[in-house]
Structure 1
């Protein structure tokens, strides 16, 4: 093929290079979703969607030929593709960092002043800088004006760390299906910490919240459909072009987007109450020493459980979680907590692989636990215990509640046979009768508490 091309050029034949001009609605690329909570799907994205991202990002970030950036994110992920396209479209000098483990060295060598990262990489960079100096400019020899962070929620501690180093973290929210475009924070603007930036306000792009609280978007940046999957497409894309993001949230009066949780991760308790695990994860990550957390619902009992990676001793982690539980409404309290000794596995884009978390849960956590805790395997150690009696205790109490009253029938049976018992033995059986009644009462109380606890 190459030789044919060379021969055609030598002969002055150009027709083989003639192509029909691309249409804005043509499929420009097929990017697969990350697959953190479901099977990856190929989103067909258009040329006009790419152009919309570049235009909107420029309105928020205002980059140009004097800026320098790095290509760090993988190009098979929508954030990496769009960030690279955006930088090149506006004349930014773009270096390549093929190994994220050398991110700090690459930033220092290339003197990058504006970078697009996922939270995990932003945290790594902040830690490297803080180990060397009190500011990014002092450590690197040149300032980092901003870091655009997307792909996952930005923990507050990472945000505060970057700010303390003189770097402005800018949050962005988007999906593969929206060509990475929904909202971006503005450089130099009020950050509205915790938000996902301002909702896109380009002509032709609309955002709103559905009646059930889900964020919706319509415009040229929305996918044409999932590649060869009409069923999946029909579930997220309405006939009039509205795309259901799968995220719950709201847009405030200033136009900032607040994402409260992923619909597919929502925990529905047996009481019918709905809980966003992201809310609890944020509370956990705000605790000292907590680095990663995944909260989910127990499929059998519909209770809340969490798996945590902490960099503090187990006992300290146990106390922190117990204290947090005391501040939560009863129905939101963590019933099961597992502490890991290493970080969670992640996707190439930096997201935690949710389907591989919470594999081996062995104990329960109580809101008011203060006692010692048995240690388990070093890879996963449970902390705390349940407020409900363990199963073996319930079994023993039930057996005793049945056996003791039966034993109390002995003197009556003997009397029926004409056998007289000594007074001391009769008093003993009277005590046994009383103990049986107390055991039955205790068992009834525990059953009531267990039913009440299930309904919370």
Structure 2
């Protein structure tokens, strides 16, 4: 199939064609243009001895572009003083916080390249990433990360420096080995200030000399089998992302973005580029357990997220309504149906006629439901949310329709680490639930003969680090990248991802099943589910492993005579099996015969990053989960004819 036709306005074409060679150059230009404008907001603990403080309290501070530039340039100068040269790697092992962004910009302004390391990565894989990348320095968040790095430093001949964000020093029991210096971020900045005093134009000259094809970032894909691959993203990848994002019209300079996504992940990282292009405000706090608390405080107008967050919010809303029972629960169920009908009807009319049209009766019901239910939902998001972008996995359409009808507009997008995240996104008011939108200006999408989605554009990686044979497997000589996803493109250029090529399976009866389609449908009908994996490759029927949202199911358990039982005990109880079975039967009623789930197992704990079952962007690692639960899977097929 030929590439999607991408309508690019003259303004967008000009912006993309004339983009700077690097985000470092874009950053210095932004600082020069709006030095006193607020760039970032971030939380800090309140001194418990202060008159207005209390233990555990925190407040949000602001940082202007000019203030950010002071720290970025001294970090860059400090790296230069350490002898870090252009394209040499500096790793960052840190959670999402303001220092991650400043360090990333500092590395880029020194002409060097960032190796992104998730702080949750275990010692063995951290050692592999640092060694494979040849990282000469690591910026580590705290004592935990410092200890992990020092513990594997003997395997890292290139490592010379470890810089701690929180000021941690090596423990007496684990001193830094000979040849490795540990210093704090404050000390690095002091060295940078001294270096820039002697060489005042060093940073500006280095930034001006950056070429588009210089390595900017190495992000290692979360491998489910074998070692992760280092994706080589050059400065032009991020400069293109900045320009392309600003062409979508989704954001303006007056927006407030809430950024919690892991910055070691490409989805989080790319958001920082678009923010610099626009000069808007970003509120930064990577603590996932603070999202619900922070939203009314930050009052963002924009947020990007993985689908799991929206699913949890929906489950929480439904769970609270169920707990209140009686008329309130009936009102919620009615309002949820009205929201979906309103959003679906509007989208269908848009697709057919080009304008949204909803019947008068449904509009009246929607107005009543808005006062009773939807306004409270929008307030929980801070009351000003214009749009959310969902990516990294598929959002169940029924969840999307619910929030759309409630006035929280979730725009699905699509991209991979190998495409520096942004490849397609739904356009603002014309978004279509169930699709990942249209290509960003400058990006091409086409569907191969076997249904695989192919991408081409400036955001596509330049290859896998030290793995030319792996690069050749996915990157064609003319620039087309094989994503490994199966999809389709409609007549209006909207892209729909149907499944991962490697995840689709064929039953022993010869029928193909796209597991993510079935899993998405189940998440829409079951408000208790956290994760679900549909299994059936080579089998004569499908089964599922299911985990439950702990707060929601424990609330239900307390109301059904199981108060005091543990989460594991609740999940293994006959009552919960019967509850979930009811939702499985509802699911099966909407499936083809060969897709139906014949048996399921509710696992005694949820999937998590710590056990290696989820990536930091909350994607399920299917091979890991299936391997860990092989016995449970085998039991679901006992006595079945597998021929």
2:283 and 2:298 in contact (8 A); partners too: yes
Shift of 1:264: 1.3
Moved more, 230-239 or 126-135: 126-135
Instruction: Write the distance in 1 (CA, Å) between the matches of 2:445 and 2:266.
Output: 20
2:215 and 2:233 in contact (8 A); partners too: yes
Distance 1:106 1:128, change over 3 A: farther
**Structure 1 position 347 matched with structure 2 position 586:** no
Instruction: Write the distance in 2 (CA, Å) between the matches of 1:134 and 1:107.
Output: 16
**Partner of residue 432 from structure 2, selected from 168, 188, 192:** 192
What whole-Å deviation, never above 9, does each CA across 1:339-396 have from its counterpart, x for those lacking one? 22443223221212323323144479xxxxxxxxxxxxxxxxx8xx77x9x38xxxxx
Aligned runs of 1:74-93 on 2, under 5 Å?
A: 74-93=262-281
What whole-Å deviation, never above 9, does each CA across 1:297-346 have from its counterpart, x for those lacking one? 356x4753321124482113224324544654443333542122443223
1:53 and 1:179 in contact (8 A); partners too: yes
Instruction: Write the distance in 1 (CA, Å) between the matches of 2:463 and 2:546.
Output: 36
Shift of 1:72: 0.4
Distance 1:298 1:38, change over 3 A: farther
**Partner of residue 293 from structure 1, selected from 529, 532, 538:** 532
**Partner of residue 247 from structure 1, selected from 485, 493, 497:** 485
Instruction: Write the distance in 2 (CA, Å) between the matches of 1:96 and 1:81.
Output: 12
Structure 2 residue runs without a partner (length 5+): 1-80, 82-187, 322-372, 557-575, 609-613
Instruction: Write the distance in 2 (CA, Å) between the matches of 1:141 and 1:336.
Output: 41
Tell me the residue number matched to 1:238: 476
Instruction: Write the distance in 2 (CA, Å) between the matches of 1:333 and 1:118.
Output: 27
Aligned runs of 1:56-95 on 2, under 5 Å?
A: 56-95=244-283
Instruction: Please report the TM-score for the alignment, with normalisation by the length of structure 2.
Output: 0.52
Q: How many residues align?
A: 369
Distance 1:304 1:72, change over 3 A: same
Distance 1:126 1:66, change over 3 A: farther
Aligned runs of 1:163-182 on 2, under 5 Å?
A: 163-182=404-423
**Structure 1 position 154 matched with structure 2 position 395:** yes
Tell me the residue number matched to 2:505: 267
Distance 1:308 1:37, change over 3 A: farther
What whole-Å deviation, never above 9, does each CA across 1:250-292 have from its counterpart, x for those lacking one? 1101111111110111213334443221122123223334522
Shift of 1:177: 0.4
Tell me the residue number matched to 2:345: none
SS in 2 for 1:73: coil
**Higher RCO (CA < 8 A, seq sep 6+):** 2
Tell me the residue number matched to 1:315: 578
Aligned runs of 1:275-424 on 2, under 5 Å?
A: 275-289=513-527, 291=529, 292-298=531-537, 301=539, 303-310=541-548, 311=553, 313-322=576-585, 324-325=587-588, 328-345=591-608, 346-358=614-626, 359-362=629-632, 390=639
Shift of 1:225: 0.2
Instruction: Write the distance in 1 (CA, Å) between the matches of 2:226 and 2:541.
Output: 22
1:206 and 1:219 in contact (8 A); partners too: yes
CA RMSD, Structure 1 to Structure 2 (Å): 3.0
Structure 1 residue runs without a partner (length 5+): 365-381, 392-449
Distance 1:128 1:97, change over 3 A: farther
1:199 and 1:251 in contact (8 A); partners too: no
Tell me the residue number matched to 1:27: 215
Instruction: Please report the TM-score for the alignment, with normalisation by the length of structure 1.
Output: 0.72
Shift of 1:232: 1.2
Distance 1:224 1:314, change over 3 A: same
Shift of 1:36: 4.8
Instruction: Write the distance in 1 (CA, Å) between the matches of 2:300 and 2:602.
Output: 37
Instruction: Write the distance in 2 (CA, Å) between the matches of 1:269 and 1:335.
Output: 13
Instruction: Write the distance in 2 (CA, Å) between the matches of 1:253 and 1:16.
Output: 49
